[in-house]
Amino acid sequence: MNPTLPDLLTGITVALSTPLPPEASGEYAAGRQGMIATIAILCAQEAERGGAARVWENGAMRALFGRAAPKYDGGLGGRLRQAASGVDADFTWAGLDAANADLRRVLIALHEAVEDAGDRRLDREILNLYRDMARARRLDLAGG
């Protein structure tokens, strides 16, 4: 499971609003506060860049499906053309994540078909897309 931004912010709220027992002070309390601060920094990065990353990923996958459809759509039951014609209409985190998950399932099916066909050019393009998607979602830890 990948926690969402709302999940993380809820966790921070619970952690900050739950008092520590007296025996959990000192190093434990300092470590807990440090972890909460680190998660808050990661949340800030996700809030700043996460929406743009999802919109870009969805567009990049749809464009790839459009290019691959002439060769692979028949074997995938029309899923490529259907996915390629979609648009993001719900720009909430949940809406973008749902569209992204659906598109990733189509991408995996396409990648399997491409590997079975031995299509090295499209395989490389898909692998590059995976890499670029990971880079778009990267979060940076302080001092890292």
Q: Residue 130's CB: how many other CB atoms inside 10 A?
A: 12
- Residue 73, classed as helix, strand or coil, is coil
pLDDT per residue over 59-76, tens digit each? Answer: 999 999 999 999 999 999
Alpha-carbon separation of residue 65 from 42, 59, 102, 125 (angstroms): 32, 10, 13, 11
What's the pTM value of the predicted model, to 2 decimals? 0.85
- Residue 112, classed as helix, strand or coil, is helix
Residues 137 and 53: beta-carbon distance below 8 Å? yes
Alpha-carbon separation of residue 16 from 45, 59, 98 (angstroms): 20, 38, 30
End-to-end, the C-alpha distance of the chain in Å comes to 24
pLDDT per residue over 2-49, tens digit each? Answer: 778 888 899 999 989 988 888 877 888 888 899 999 999 999 999 999
